[in-house]
Structure 1
Amino acid sequence: MNPISVLRDTWFFFTRHIGTLLPLCLPWIIVETLVQQQIDVAVDSQNFAPWGMAAGLVFYPMYTASLILFMIDAGEGRERGVRELWNAALRLWPAFALLSALSSLLILVGLALYVLPGLFFMVKMTFSEFLLVQRGNSPIDAMRESFRLTTGHFFLLLTTTLVILAPVWMAEGWITQVAQDSPGLGVLLHSLSGFFQLLVTVAAYRIFILGPGREENEGREA
Protein backbone atom coordinates (compact mmCIF):
# COMPACT_ATOMS: atom_id res chain seq x y z
CA MET A 1 0.00 0.00 0.00
CA ASN A 2 1.05 3.57 -0.62
CA PRO A 3 -0.65 6.89 0.23
CA ILE A 4 -1.73 7.60 -3.35
CA SER A 5 -3.55 4.28 -3.79
CA VAL A 6 -5.20 4.61 -0.35
CA LEU A 7 -6.37 8.15 -1.09
CA ARG A 8 -7.62 7.15 -4.54
CA ASP A 9 -9.62 4.21 -3.17
CA THR A 10 -10.92 6.37 -0.30
CA TRP A 11 -12.20 9.05 -2.65
CA PHE A 12 -13.77 6.44 -4.93
CA PHE A 13 -15.64 4.82 -2.02
CA PHE A 14 -16.71 8.17 -0.59
CA THR A 15 -18.08 9.57 -3.84
CA ARG A 16 -19.67 6.28 -4.89
CA HIS A 17 -21.65 6.04 -1.64
CA ILE A 18 -22.18 9.73 -0.93
CA GLY A 19 -25.91 9.31 -1.51
CA THR A 20 -26.00 7.08 1.58
CA LEU A 21 -23.30 8.82 3.60
CA LEU A 22 -25.02 12.21 3.49
CA PRO A 23 -28.26 11.11 5.23
CA LEU A 24 -26.33 8.67 7.42
CA CYS A 25 -23.78 11.06 8.91
CA LEU A 26 -24.52 14.68 7.99
CA PRO A 27 -27.62 15.16 10.20
CA TRP A 28 -25.62 14.25 13.32
CA ILE A 29 -22.76 16.53 12.25
CA ILE A 30 -25.19 19.43 11.71
CA VAL A 31 -26.75 18.93 15.15
CA GLU A 32 -23.27 18.72 16.70
CA THR A 33 -22.27 21.97 14.95
CA LEU A 34 -25.46 23.73 16.08
CA VAL A 35 -24.93 22.64 19.70
CA GLN A 36 -21.31 23.77 19.64
CA GLN A 37 -22.36 27.11 18.15
CA GLN A 38 -24.83 27.63 21.01
CA ILE A 39 -22.17 26.67 23.54
CA ASP A 40 -19.81 29.18 21.93
CA VAL A 41 -22.46 31.90 22.38
CA ALA A 42 -23.30 30.89 25.95
CA VAL A 43 -19.78 30.58 27.39
CA ASP A 44 -16.59 32.56 27.01
CA SER A 45 -13.71 31.32 24.84
CA GLN A 46 -11.73 30.04 27.83
CA ASN A 47 -14.51 27.64 28.82
CA PHE A 48 -15.56 26.57 25.32
CA ALA A 49 -12.99 23.77 24.87
CA PRO A 50 -14.29 21.35 27.57
CA TRP A 51 -17.95 22.04 26.77
CA GLY A 52 -17.33 21.82 23.03
CA MET A 53 -15.53 18.52 23.51
CA ALA A 54 -18.40 17.21 25.64
CA ALA A 55 -20.84 18.04 22.85
CA GLY A 56 -18.61 16.23 20.37
CA LEU A 57 -18.54 13.14 22.56
CA VAL A 58 -22.34 13.00 22.42
CA PHE A 59 -22.67 13.07 18.63
CA TYR A 60 -19.32 11.88 17.26
CA PRO A 61 -19.90 8.23 18.27
CA MET A 62 -23.22 8.16 16.42
CA TYR A 63 -22.05 9.27 13.00
CA THR A 64 -18.64 7.61 13.19
CA ALA A 65 -19.98 4.25 14.37
CA SER A 66 -22.69 4.47 11.68
CA LEU A 67 -20.01 5.06 9.05
CA ILE A 68 -17.88 2.15 10.27
CA LEU A 69 -20.90 -0.16 10.35
CA PHE A 70 -21.75 0.90 6.79
CA MET A 71 -18.19 0.16 5.62
CA ILE A 72 -18.28 -3.25 7.30
CA ASP A 73 -21.60 -4.01 5.58
CA ALA A 74 -20.20 -2.88 2.22
CA GLY A 75 -17.24 -5.23 2.63
CA GLU A 76 -19.50 -8.15 3.55
CA GLY A 77 -22.07 -7.48 0.81
CA ARG A 78 -24.80 -6.70 3.34
CA GLU A 79 -27.27 -3.82 3.10
CA ARG A 80 -28.96 -2.03 5.97
CA GLY A 81 -30.97 1.16 5.92
CA VAL A 82 -30.00 4.38 7.65
CA ARG A 83 -32.36 3.74 10.57
CA GLU A 84 -30.98 0.24 11.13
CA LEU A 85 -27.41 1.57 11.13
CA TRP A 86 -28.37 4.31 13.58
CA ASN A 87 -29.97 1.76 15.90
CA ALA A 88 -26.83 -0.38 15.77
CA ALA A 89 -24.66 2.68 16.40
CA LEU A 90 -26.85 3.66 19.36
CA ARG A 91 -26.24 0.27 20.97
CA LEU A 92 -22.50 0.88 20.61
CA TRP A 93 -22.73 4.45 21.90
CA PRO A 94 -21.71 3.94 25.57
CA ALA A 95 -18.52 2.02 24.75
CA PHE A 96 -17.74 4.23 21.76
CA ALA A 97 -18.21 7.44 23.79
CA LEU A 98 -15.89 6.09 26.49
CA LEU A 99 -13.30 5.16 23.87
CA SER A 100 -13.58 8.63 22.29
CA ALA A 101 -13.17 10.32 25.67
CA LEU A 102 -10.10 8.27 26.58
CA SER A 103 -8.51 8.73 23.17
CA SER A 104 -9.21 12.48 23.15
CA LEU A 105 -7.70 12.86 26.61
CA LEU A 106 -4.57 10.98 25.53
CA ILE A 107 -4.24 13.08 22.37
CA LEU A 108 -4.76 16.33 24.30
CA VAL A 109 -2.05 15.37 26.76
CA GLY A 110 0.22 14.66 23.80
CA LEU A 111 -0.61 17.98 22.15
CA ALA A 112 0.25 19.75 25.40
CA LEU A 113 3.70 18.18 25.09
CA TYR A 114 4.63 20.23 22.00
CA VAL A 115 2.25 18.79 19.37
CA LEU A 116 4.31 15.86 18.05
CA PRO A 117 3.33 13.46 20.86
CA GLY A 118 -0.28 14.40 20.15
CA LEU A 119 0.10 13.41 16.48
CA PHE A 120 1.77 10.19 17.60
CA PHE A 121 -1.12 9.25 19.88
CA MET A 122 -3.68 10.28 17.25
CA VAL A 123 -2.17 7.85 14.74
CA LYS A 124 -1.67 5.07 17.28
CA MET A 125 -5.36 5.30 18.25
CA THR A 126 -6.56 5.11 14.63
CA PHE A 127 -7.59 1.44 14.61
CA SER A 128 -9.23 1.45 18.05
CA GLU A 129 -12.68 2.44 16.73
CA PHE A 130 -12.66 -0.38 14.16
CA LEU A 131 -11.60 -2.89 16.80
CA LEU A 132 -14.45 -1.80 19.07
CA VAL A 133 -17.13 -1.84 16.35
CA GLN A 134 -16.02 -4.79 14.23
CA ARG A 135 -14.46 -7.10 16.81
CA GLY A 136 -16.30 -6.05 19.93
CA ASN A 137 -13.18 -5.14 21.92
CA SER A 138 -13.63 -3.13 25.09
CA PRO A 139 -12.40 0.50 24.92
CA ILE A 140 -9.18 -0.24 26.82
CA ASP A 141 -8.47 -3.41 24.84
CA ALA A 142 -9.20 -1.57 21.58
CA MET A 143 -6.71 1.16 22.48
CA ARG A 144 -4.07 -1.37 23.50
CA GLU A 145 -4.58 -3.44 20.34
CA SER A 146 -4.54 -0.33 18.14
CA PHE A 147 -1.13 0.59 19.55
CA ARG A 148 0.12 -2.84 18.50
CA LEU A 149 -1.52 -3.07 15.08
CA THR A 150 -0.51 0.40 13.89
CA THR A 151 3.14 -0.62 14.14
CA GLY A 152 4.42 -0.85 10.59
CA HIS A 153 1.60 1.35 9.26
CA PHE A 154 2.39 4.51 11.22
CA PHE A 155 3.79 6.70 8.45
CA LEU A 156 1.15 5.57 5.95
CA LEU A 157 -1.57 6.52 8.41
CA LEU A 158 0.13 9.80 9.28
CA THR A 159 0.63 10.78 5.63
CA THR A 160 -2.92 10.03 4.51
CA THR A 161 -4.37 11.77 7.58
CA LEU A 162 -2.36 14.94 7.03
CA VAL A 163 -3.09 15.04 3.29
CA ILE A 164 -6.83 14.90 4.02
CA LEU A 165 -6.87 17.23 7.01
CA ALA A 166 -4.43 19.91 5.84
CA PRO A 167 -6.86 21.58 3.39
CA VAL A 168 -9.71 21.16 5.89
CA TRP A 169 -7.69 22.86 8.64
CA MET A 170 -6.77 25.71 6.28
CA ALA A 171 -10.43 26.16 5.31
CA GLU A 172 -11.52 26.23 8.96
CA GLY A 173 -9.89 29.62 9.51
CA TRP A 174 -11.88 31.13 6.64
CA ILE A 175 -15.06 29.37 7.75
CA THR A 176 -14.69 30.82 11.27
CA GLN A 177 -14.49 34.33 9.80
CA VAL A 178 -17.56 33.71 7.64
CA ALA A 179 -19.47 32.38 10.66
CA GLN A 180 -18.98 35.67 12.51
CA ASP A 181 -20.89 37.54 9.80
CA SER A 182 -23.36 34.80 8.86
CA PRO A 183 -23.98 32.19 11.60
CA GLY A 184 -26.30 30.12 9.40
CA LEU A 185 -23.77 29.87 6.60
CA GLY A 186 -21.11 29.15 9.20
CA VAL A 187 -23.07 26.16 10.50
CA LEU A 188 -23.44 24.81 6.96
CA LEU A 189 -19.74 25.25 6.14
CA HIS A 190 -18.56 23.82 9.47
CA SER A 191 -20.89 20.84 8.95
CA LEU A 192 -19.55 20.21 5.45
CA SER A 193 -16.02 20.48 6.81
CA GLY A 194 -16.84 17.88 9.45
CA PHE A 195 -18.45 15.66 6.85
CA PHE A 196 -15.37 15.66 4.63
CA GLN A 197 -13.18 14.89 7.64
CA LEU A 198 -14.87 11.48 7.57
CA LEU A 199 -12.50 10.74 4.70
CA VAL A 200 -9.87 10.13 7.39
CA THR A 201 -11.99 7.31 8.85
CA VAL A 202 -12.59 5.81 5.42
CA ALA A 203 -8.87 5.93 4.57
CA ALA A 204 -7.88 4.46 7.93
CA TYR A 205 -10.38 1.62 7.55
CA ARG A 206 -8.98 0.89 4.09
CA ILE A 207 -5.51 0.56 5.62
CA PHE A 208 -6.91 -1.54 8.46
CA ILE A 209 -8.69 -4.12 6.31
CA LEU A 210 -5.80 -4.43 3.85
CA GLY A 211 -3.14 -4.46 6.55
CA PRO A 212 -3.57 -5.85 10.08
CA GLY A 213 -7.17 -6.92 9.46
CA ARG A 214 -6.21 -9.13 6.53
CA GLU A 215 -3.07 -10.41 8.26
CA GLU A 216 -5.01 -11.54 11.33
CA ASN A 217 -7.76 -13.17 9.24
CA GLU A 218 -5.14 -15.08 7.26
CA GLY A 219 -3.51 -16.12 10.53
CA ARG A 220 -6.79 -17.53 11.82
CA GLU A 221 -7.40 -19.44 8.58
CA ALA A 222 -3.92 -20.93 8.70
Structure 2
Amino acid sequence: MNPLSVLRDSLYFFRRNLLAIAQLCLPLVVLEALATQMVQHTVGEDASPMYDIIVGLLFYPLYTGALILFLDARSKGLQPLKRNLLAVTLRLWPFFAVLAASSTVLIMLGLSLFVLPGVYVMIRLVFAEYLLVLRGLTPMAAMRDSFQLTQGHFVRILLCVFGALIPLWAIDLVSNSVWPEPSNWQALLLDSVNGFLQLFTSVVLYRLFMLRVGDTTQP
Protein backbone atom coordinates (compact mmCIF):
# COMPACT_ATOMS: atom_id res chain seq x y z
CA MET A 1 0.00 0.00 0.00
CA ASN A 2 2.59 2.53 -1.18
CA PRO A 3 1.01 6.02 -1.07
CA LEU A 4 2.81 7.22 -4.20
CA SER A 5 1.70 4.15 -6.16
CA VAL A 6 -1.88 4.56 -4.98
CA LEU A 7 -1.95 8.23 -6.01
CA ARG A 8 -0.32 7.49 -9.36
CA ASP A 9 -2.70 4.64 -10.20
CA SER A 10 -5.70 6.68 -9.09
CA LEU A 11 -4.67 9.66 -11.22
CA TYR A 12 -4.20 7.39 -14.23
CA PHE A 13 -7.71 5.93 -13.75
CA PHE A 14 -9.26 9.36 -13.19
CA ARG A 15 -7.72 10.74 -16.36
CA ARG A 16 -8.71 7.73 -18.48
CA ASN A 17 -12.31 7.83 -17.25
CA LEU A 18 -12.64 11.60 -16.90
CA LEU A 19 -15.42 11.97 -19.48
CA ALA A 20 -17.50 9.11 -18.07
CA ILE A 21 -17.10 10.40 -14.50
CA ALA A 22 -18.06 13.91 -15.62
CA GLN A 23 -21.18 12.66 -17.41
CA LEU A 24 -22.19 10.68 -14.34
CA CYS A 25 -21.39 13.09 -11.51
CA LEU A 26 -20.92 16.62 -12.82
CA PRO A 27 -24.65 17.43 -13.29
CA LEU A 28 -25.30 16.56 -9.64
CA VAL A 29 -22.23 18.50 -8.51
CA VAL A 30 -23.48 21.56 -10.41
CA LEU A 31 -26.95 21.17 -8.90
CA GLU A 32 -25.40 20.99 -5.44
CA ALA A 33 -23.37 24.16 -6.08
CA LEU A 34 -26.48 25.92 -7.43
CA ALA A 35 -28.60 24.84 -4.47
CA THR A 36 -25.90 26.00 -2.03
CA GLN A 37 -25.73 29.37 -3.77
CA MET A 38 -29.53 29.77 -3.63
CA VAL A 39 -29.61 28.89 0.07
CA GLN A 40 -26.85 31.41 0.81
CA HIS A 41 -28.74 34.13 -1.04
CA THR A 42 -31.92 33.26 0.87
CA VAL A 43 -30.56 33.01 4.42
CA GLY A 44 -27.45 35.19 4.01
CA GLU A 45 -23.78 34.26 3.80
CA ASP A 46 -23.35 34.62 7.58
CA ALA A 47 -25.97 31.96 8.30
CA SER A 48 -25.19 28.73 10.08
CA PRO A 49 -23.01 26.27 8.13
CA MET A 50 -25.68 23.68 8.87
CA TYR A 51 -27.54 24.91 5.79
CA ASP A 52 -24.60 23.95 3.57
CA ILE A 53 -24.34 20.58 5.33
CA ILE A 54 -28.03 19.88 4.71
CA VAL A 55 -27.65 20.70 1.01
CA GLY A 56 -24.61 18.44 0.89
CA LEU A 57 -26.57 15.58 2.44
CA LEU A 58 -29.11 15.86 -0.37
CA PHE A 59 -26.62 15.60 -3.23
CA TYR A 60 -23.36 14.12 -1.91
CA PRO A 61 -24.74 10.58 -1.38
CA LEU A 62 -26.10 10.57 -4.93
CA TYR A 63 -23.00 11.42 -6.91
CA THR A 64 -20.58 9.72 -4.52
CA GLY A 65 -22.63 6.52 -4.43
CA ALA A 66 -22.89 6.50 -8.22
CA LEU A 67 -19.14 7.07 -8.51
CA ILE A 68 -18.36 4.19 -6.13
CA LEU A 69 -20.58 1.86 -8.15
CA PHE A 70 -18.91 3.07 -11.36
CA LEU A 71 -15.44 2.47 -9.92
CA ASP A 72 -16.40 -1.04 -8.86
CA ALA A 73 -17.89 -1.87 -12.26
CA ARG A 74 -14.92 -0.49 -14.22
CA SER A 75 -12.49 -2.40 -11.99
CA LYS A 76 -14.27 -5.57 -13.15
CA GLY A 77 -14.06 -4.54 -16.82
CA LEU A 78 -17.75 -3.66 -17.08
CA GLN A 79 -19.37 -0.69 -18.83
CA PRO A 80 -22.31 0.25 -16.58
CA LEU A 81 -25.19 2.40 -17.77
CA LYS A 82 -25.44 5.72 -15.94
CA ARG A 83 -29.17 5.35 -15.38
CA ASN A 84 -28.63 1.97 -13.68
CA LEU A 85 -25.97 3.40 -11.37
CA LEU A 86 -28.19 6.32 -10.42
CA ALA A 87 -31.17 4.01 -9.85
CA VAL A 88 -29.18 1.91 -7.38
CA THR A 89 -27.83 5.04 -5.73
CA LEU A 90 -31.34 6.42 -5.23
CA ARG A 91 -32.28 3.26 -3.34
CA LEU A 92 -29.19 3.61 -1.17
CA TRP A 93 -29.65 7.34 -0.56
CA PRO A 94 -31.44 7.15 2.84
CA PHE A 95 -28.75 4.88 4.29
CA PHE A 96 -25.92 6.85 2.70
CA ALA A 97 -27.37 10.11 4.02
CA VAL A 98 -27.53 8.68 7.55
CA LEU A 99 -23.92 7.52 7.25
CA ALA A 100 -22.76 10.89 5.88
CA ALA A 101 -24.61 12.78 8.62
CA SER A 102 -23.23 10.52 11.38
CA SER A 103 -19.68 10.79 10.02
CA THR A 104 -19.96 14.57 9.70
CA VAL A 105 -21.14 14.93 13.30
CA LEU A 106 -18.29 12.75 14.62
CA ILE A 107 -15.66 14.53 12.55
CA MET A 108 -16.92 18.00 13.53
CA LEU A 109 -16.99 16.94 17.17
CA GLY A 110 -13.42 15.72 16.83
CA LEU A 111 -12.31 18.92 15.09
CA SER A 112 -13.76 20.93 17.96
CA LEU A 113 -11.39 19.02 20.26
CA PHE A 114 -8.13 20.58 19.01
CA VAL A 115 -8.45 19.33 15.39
CA LEU A 116 -6.39 16.14 15.67
CA PRO A 117 -9.24 13.94 17.00
CA GLY A 118 -11.30 15.05 13.99
CA VAL A 119 -8.54 14.06 11.57
CA TYR A 120 -8.23 10.71 13.38
CA VAL A 121 -11.96 10.01 13.06
CA MET A 122 -11.99 11.10 9.40
CA ILE A 123 -9.21 8.68 8.49
CA ARG A 124 -10.72 5.79 10.45
CA LEU A 125 -14.07 6.26 8.64
CA VAL A 126 -12.70 6.53 5.07
CA PHE A 127 -13.91 3.05 4.07
CA ALA A 128 -17.42 3.33 5.55
CA GLU A 129 -19.02 4.61 2.32
CA TYR A 130 -17.52 1.77 0.28
CA LEU A 131 -18.64 -0.84 2.80
CA LEU A 132 -22.18 0.55 2.72
CA VAL A 133 -22.43 0.77 -1.08
CA LEU A 134 -20.46 -2.31 -2.11
CA ARG A 135 -21.04 -4.66 0.83
CA GLY A 136 -24.57 -3.61 1.73
CA LEU A 137 -23.74 -2.90 5.38
CA THR A 138 -25.85 -0.67 7.58
CA PRO A 139 -24.41 2.76 8.43
CA MET A 140 -23.32 1.68 11.91
CA ALA A 141 -21.85 -1.60 10.69
CA ALA A 142 -20.00 0.23 7.91
CA MET A 143 -18.47 2.66 10.39
CA ARG A 144 -17.47 -0.18 12.71
CA ASP A 145 -15.87 -2.22 9.93
CA SER A 146 -14.08 0.85 8.58
CA PHE A 147 -12.39 1.26 11.95
CA GLN A 148 -11.30 -2.38 11.71
CA LEU A 149 -9.99 -2.12 8.14
CA THR A 150 -7.98 1.02 8.86
CA GLN A 151 -6.35 -0.52 11.94
CA GLY A 152 -2.58 -0.44 11.51
CA HIS A 153 -2.71 1.59 8.27
CA PHE A 154 -3.49 5.04 9.64
CA VAL A 155 -0.32 6.83 8.48
CA ARG A 156 -0.39 5.41 4.94
CA ILE A 157 -4.06 6.27 4.49
CA LEU A 158 -3.42 9.74 5.93
CA LEU A 159 -0.62 10.32 3.40
CA CYS A 160 -2.85 9.21 0.52
CA VAL A 161 -5.79 11.38 1.61
CA PHE A 162 -3.73 14.52 2.10
CA GLY A 163 -1.68 13.76 -0.99
CA ALA A 164 -4.95 13.99 -2.93
CA LEU A 165 -6.43 16.92 -1.00
CA ILE A 166 -3.48 19.32 -0.81
CA PRO A 167 -3.31 19.97 -4.60
CA LEU A 168 -7.08 20.48 -4.62
CA TRP A 169 -6.83 22.95 -1.74
CA ALA A 170 -4.05 24.74 -3.64
CA ILE A 171 -6.29 25.04 -6.71
CA ASP A 172 -9.10 26.40 -4.56
CA LEU A 173 -6.73 28.92 -2.94
CA VAL A 174 -5.46 30.11 -6.33
CA SER A 175 -8.98 30.45 -7.72
CA ASN A 176 -10.02 32.51 -4.68
CA SER A 177 -7.02 34.79 -5.13
CA VAL A 178 -7.77 35.26 -8.84
CA TRP A 179 -11.48 35.91 -8.20
CA PRO A 180 -11.70 37.26 -4.62
CA GLU A 181 -15.25 38.53 -5.21
CA PRO A 182 -16.68 36.36 -7.99
CA SER A 183 -19.99 37.05 -9.62
CA ASN A 184 -22.81 34.55 -9.26
CA TRP A 185 -21.92 32.62 -12.40
CA GLN A 186 -18.19 32.68 -11.57
CA ALA A 187 -18.90 31.37 -8.07
CA LEU A 188 -21.10 28.63 -9.53
CA LEU A 189 -18.37 27.69 -12.01
CA LEU A 190 -15.64 27.63 -9.37
CA ASP A 191 -17.70 25.63 -6.88
CA SER A 192 -18.68 23.14 -9.59
CA VAL A 193 -15.13 22.64 -10.83
CA ASN A 194 -13.70 22.35 -7.31
CA GLY A 195 -16.46 19.96 -6.28
CA PHE A 196 -15.86 17.79 -9.32
CA LEU A 197 -12.09 17.69 -8.81
CA GLN A 198 -12.61 16.56 -5.23
CA LEU A 199 -14.11 13.36 -6.63
CA PHE A 200 -10.50 12.34 -7.25
CA THR A 201 -10.28 11.68 -3.51
CA SER A 202 -13.01 9.06 -3.84
CA VAL A 203 -10.98 7.34 -6.56
CA VAL A 204 -7.93 7.28 -4.26
CA LEU A 205 -9.97 5.88 -1.38
CA TYR A 206 -11.51 3.21 -3.60
CA ARG A 207 -8.03 2.10 -4.62
CA LEU A 208 -7.01 1.94 -0.97
CA PHE A 209 -10.18 0.06 -0.08
CA MET A 210 -9.62 -2.61 -2.72
CA LEU A 211 -5.99 -3.05 -1.65
CA ARG A 212 -7.03 -3.35 1.99
CA VAL A 213 -9.88 -5.78 1.27
CA GLY A 214 -7.50 -7.85 -0.87
CA ASP A 215 -5.04 -8.01 2.04
CA THR A 216 -7.70 -9.27 4.44
CA THR A 217 -8.91 -12.01 2.07
CA GLN A 218 -5.49 -13.50 1.43
CA PRO A 219 -4.67 -16.69 3.35
| TM-score, structure 1 as length reference | 0.93
Aligned pairs (5 A) from 1:183-194: 183-194=184-195
Which one-letter code corresponds to 1:50 in the other structure?
M
Deviation at 1:77, TM superposition (A): 2.3
Deviation at 1:179, TM superposition (A): 6.8
Kept in 1, the 8 Å contact 2:107–2:118? The answer is yes
Kept in 1, the 8 Å contact 2:103–2:125? The answer is yes
What is residue 182 of structure 2 aligned with on the other side? 181
Kept in 1, the 8 Å contact 2:107–2:119? The answer is yes
Deviation at 1:191, TM superposition (A): 1.0
Of all paired residues, the percent bearing the same amino acid is: 40
Which one-letter code corresponds to 1:148 in the other structure?
Q
Counterpart check, 1:147 vs 2:147: yes
Secondary structure at 2:15 match in 1: helix
Aligned pairs (5 A) from 1:17-56: 17-56=17-56
Unaligned runs of 5+ in 2: none
Kept in 1, the 8 Å contact 2:164–2:204? The answer is no
Structure 2: how far apart are the matches of 1:29 and 1:48? Answer: 21
Kept in 2, the 8 Å contact 1:39–1:48? The answer is no
Structure 2: how far apart are the matches of 1:175 and 1:32? Answer: 19
Structure 2 vs 1, CA of residues 59 and 179 (structure 1 numbering), >3 Å: closer, same or farther? farther
Structure 1: how far apart are the matches of 2:22 and 2:147? Answer: 31
Deviation at 1:203, TM superposition (A): 0.7
Kept in 2, the 8 Å contact 1:128–1:145? The answer is yes
Kept in 2, the 8 Å contact 1:132–1:138? The answer is yes
Structure 2 vs 1, CA of residues 53 and 98 (structure 1 numbering), >3 Å: closer, same or farther? same
Greater helix proportion: 1
Which one-letter code corresponds to 1:20 in the other structure?
A
Unaligned runs of 5+ in 1: none
What is residue 9 of structure 1 aligned with on the other side? 9
Counterpart check, 1:203 vs 2:175: no
Secondary structure at 1:78 match in 2: coil
Counterpart check, 1:129 vs 2:129: yes
Listed one character per residue, the Cα deviations across residues 47-99 of structure 1 (whole Å, up to 9, x for unaligned) are 24001000000000000000100011112222211111111111110100100
Kept in 2, the 8 Å contact 1:40–1:48? The answer is no
Structure 2: how far apart are the matches of 1:183 and 1:174? Answer: 18
What is residue 157 of structure 1 aligned with on the other side? 157
Structure 2: how far apart are the matches of 1:216 and 1:92? Answer: 26
Q: How many residues align?
A: 218
The structure with higher relative contact order (CA 8 Å, sep 6+) is 2
Listed one character per residue, the Cα deviations across residues 9-50 of structure 1 (whole Å, up to 9, x for unaligned) are 000000011110001111111100111111111223442400
Secondary structure at 2:49 match in 1: helix
Structure 1: how far apart are the matches of 2:155 and 2:101? Answer: 24
Q: CA RMSD in A?
A: 1.5
Structure 2 vs 1, CA of residues 179 and 55 (structure 1 numbering), >3 Å: closer, same or farther? farther
